[in-house]
Structures are given as C-alpha cells and as structure tokens.
Amino acid sequence: MKRLIYILTVVLLVVMASGCTTSDEWASNKTYSGNGVTFTYPGTWS
C-alpha cells in the first residue's frame, strides 16, 4: 500500500511540474472573433 501511495505521489508531482513550463509558441497566437465565434489559433497559420 505504501508503494502505491509513493508511485501516485511521484506521478502527481511530475504532472504538476510539467504544467509549469512556458513556451514562446503561445506568444505568437492570434484570435479570431466573428459571427458569434471566438477562438485562438497559431500565428503561423496562413
């Protein structure tokens, strides 16, 4: 039982740490808003 708790704790910490990264990819996103629809898309899309 203790081993299961240890493994779950390690997995949880890895998942939480992976969310703490940043990426410049999000900085170049554009937003479309029209006809009642709004969404964000990559700035590299034509």
Question: Which amino acid is present at 15?
Answer: V
46 pLDDT more than 70:
no
Q: What is the pLDDT of residue 11?
A: 95
Residue 20, helix vs strand vs coil:
coil
Number of domains present in the structure of the chain: 1
Q: Which of 28, 33, 20 is nearest to 44 (CA)?
A: 28
12 pLDDT more than 80:
yes
Residue 31 structural domain:
1-42
pLDDT in tens, 25-35: 556 888 999 99
* Token pair of 42 as six digits: 């990559």
The Cα–Cα gap between 28 and 19 comes to 19
